[in-house]
Structure 1
Amino acid sequence: MSPSTLRRALTFSVLINLGVLTALGWQKLAANGLPMPSGAPTTLSRELQLSTSQLQRWHDAEAPFLAQLHASGADIQKHRDALIQAIFGPSVDHTLIDTAQTKIAELQSTQQRLVIEQLLRERKILDPEQRERLAQILVQQPVGPSGFERMHRE
């Protein structure tokens, strides 16, 4: 094979690999709860019967919230994994266990504040009937941010 043919084959291979990686990355972002495209209706927005202007405001408020919630969930996961390793590693590291436990509690508190701030933003967007409906839906959800996040993505 000539050097130019080899170069073309290598370039073609790199382009295919980049395309595959881009497609996988895009799927991963969508699957990991990053914000929906602005204006795209969700199960929750349909359930609340948001008007067009409410839907736009809803998504504008929701996008940064979901990104922050996703990032804090990833941080909690990292510290949870460290906690599990400290508990089940070859030797028990009580200092690492205490540190991870404290960090997880701090991150969960921050996550709770994020959720409350988001609910207050959503309250301003909704009319009284929609607020009552959202309150009913939230009461029926499992405790924790994962149910809240899933509800916003669907």
Structure 2
Amino acid sequence: MTPLLPGNPACLTLITSRRRRGDLPGGTASLRPDQLPADDARDMFVVAAERAIDEPSAVEELVELCGRLPLAIAIIARVYTEHPSWTVADLIAETRDSVLRLFAEQNSVAAAFDVSVRYLPAARRRFLTLLGLHPGTSIDPYAAAALTGRDHSVSLG
């Protein structure tokens, strides 16, 4: 990481990372974002998943399982909206029964990603796995097609 930092000490640089960066030079300050306040976390979930408004205590429990982290809440809300027969209690049970032990930021993001990927159709899940093999930070439709062995105009459905 250090070779990427500007050489001028007067230059302010913002680095974001899910991990603590102990390899940064002196004169750095670490700021850890706070969790959302409980009311804001609950409101965020209910705005994204409106039918949950009638289950306030269950929503409070669910956002606590998400560590009150916005990314985890957004992903879990999407999973909830994609399963219209589920109650919030069903989602809590699914969360507890799965990898979603959301105790810390690193675990909550990974676990929320895991549950999101789990509900993708098989072709998209395979594509995401193959995409992890791509060495770059961006990919065009032709390179994506080469990964999947499909024509670039074919949808993954």
Q: TM-score, normalised on structure 2?
A: 0.29
**Higher helix share goes to which structure?**
1
Q: Using structure 1 for the length normalisation, give the TM-score.
A: 0.30
Q: Which has the larger radius of gyration?
A: 1
Query: Relative contact order, CA 8 A, sep 6+: which one is greater?
Result: 1
